[in-house]
Amino acid sequence: MYEFSVSEIIQRPNHIISIRFEDKSGQFPAYKAGQFLTLSFEFGEREVRRSYSFSSSPALSEPLEITVKRVENGEISRLLHHKLQVGDTINVLEPQGLFIYEPNINSQRTVFLFAAGVGITPLYSILKTALIEEQNTKIILVYSNSSREKTAFYDELLEWQQKYPNRLKIEFIWSDSKNLSKARLNREYLISLLNENLLNDKEDALFYTCGPLFYMDLVKFTLLGMGFPEENVRKETFHFPEEEEDDDEREEEVIDDKEYNVTLLFNGEEFKLIVPSNKTILDVGLEHKIKLPYSCKSGMCSTCISQVTKGAVKMDYNEVLTDNEVERGKCLICVSHPTEDGTIIDIL
Ligand SMILES: Cc1cc2nc3c(=O)[nH]c(=O)nc-3n(C[C@H](O)[C@H](O)[C@H](O)COP(=O)(O)OP(=O)(O)OC[C@H]3O[C@@H](n4cnc5c(N)ncnc54)[C@H](O)[C@@H]3O)c2cc1C
Ligand code: FES
């Protein structure tokens, strides 16, 4: 755990703030564009963690910054909006996340960034990093909001466009636009944008998307339909599954009142647990005061990736692992329930 002090709070449109930090210890590890910071709060015995992507870029000597949208009834986002003050101290964990942009100085690629609302946060970090660290990469940012007035980082993005007119193109999509074909991201618009802007081969293009699930699915399935390789399409999920889940699609829950013996291998130690099937492996581990890695607790952030070496688990939700990885025994312990007695899990 590291201690940050709040150095600045910047008000942005659409109930969004950016929070800048100073690393009091000077020990905070280097982060990569696209990664997130986990904030940890203690309320008596209860620890609450939340993840927020960096909107600052590691390629610039700018303060560490996260950007937070106020969520209605949200416990932590409202605390950050209404209670946090410059000078306050916050506990944070090391940078995490697999939604990473690795700059390559020699690359000639086209990088397409698709953001909706506060989903701009990791993509703004990636945009700045790719423009600074690379010389030939072309960036196309497609950024959806309800209106120009509600677009966070609008002026900043225009400044970047002026600085790099030949390498950065920004397409703002506003749902209050009179031009209906550009009021919402849609398949036809996406296809023409891709055909117009692709510099080289399909294999050289990279895609990053962050927004609501239906938005990211539209981008992903259009790209796959056009023949872009799946491994070049990356997405970051901020939202909770229940937010967008269709009642008809929800699987009938199977009630199982069994308990399973599970062994966790963690930091060179072996922990034997009894996990009732209605609890996650992470929750039972935390009840036993094992300092397991976690952040979102909902199958979205990748912090708790582990390897099943014996037995089996069932995940409630998974926005991180590919089918192939799940087949090879990878799991997210925050959403996993054992389904076999004697299951052994290596916490990676
Ligand atoms: C990898 C990752 C990166 C993230 N990066 C960012 C970021 O850069 N900026 C940012 O603002 N948030 C980001 N989030 C979301 C953030 O971690 C919190 O989930 C969010 O701030 C809500 O927390 P809360 O405590 O205020 O709400 P909670 O008290 O946890 O939730 C209150 C209610 O709001 C619903 N809810 C929770 N989150 C959302 C949401 N995002 N939109 C709509 N309804 C919601 C819940 O289902 C619940 O009903 C990220 C999440 C992940 C997993
Ligand atoms: S803690 Fe985020 S995926 Fe498990």
Dihedral sign (CA 94, 126, 56, 221): negative
Whether 230 and 202 map to the same domain: the answer is: yes
Whether 207 and 279 map to the same domain: the answer is: no
**Domain containing 286 — which CATH number?**
3.10.20.30
Whether 74 and 144 map to the same domain: the answer is: no
What is the CA(286)–ligand 1 centre distance, in A? 22
Give the mean pLDDT of the chain: 92
The tens digit of pLDDT for each residue in 311-338 reads: 999 999 998 998 899 999 999 999 999 9
Rounded distance, CA 142 to CA 190, Å? Answer: 9
Q: Establish if 276 belongs to a structural domain.
A: yes
Which of 127, 112, 4, 120 is closest to 57 using CA atoms?
A: 127
Whether 126 and 219 map to the same domain: the answer is: yes
How many other β-carbons are positioned within 10 Å of the β-carbon of residue 52? 24
**Domain containing 133 — which CATH number?**
3.40.50.80
Residues in the ligand 2 pocket, defined by CB under 6 Å: 294-297, 299-304, 320, 332, 334
The tens digit of pLDDT for each residue in 66-80 reads: 999 999 999 999 999
Contacts of 244 (CB under 8 A, 6+ apart): 212, 213, 214
Ligand 1 atom nearest to 48, measured from its CA: 25
**Domain containing 43 — which CATH number?**
2.40.30.10
Would you place residue 180 in the very low, low, confident or very high pLDDT band (cuts 50, 70, 90)?
confident
Q: Domain total for the chain?
A: 3
Q: What is the pTM of this model?
A: 0.91
Q: Establish if 66 belongs to a structural domain.
A: yes
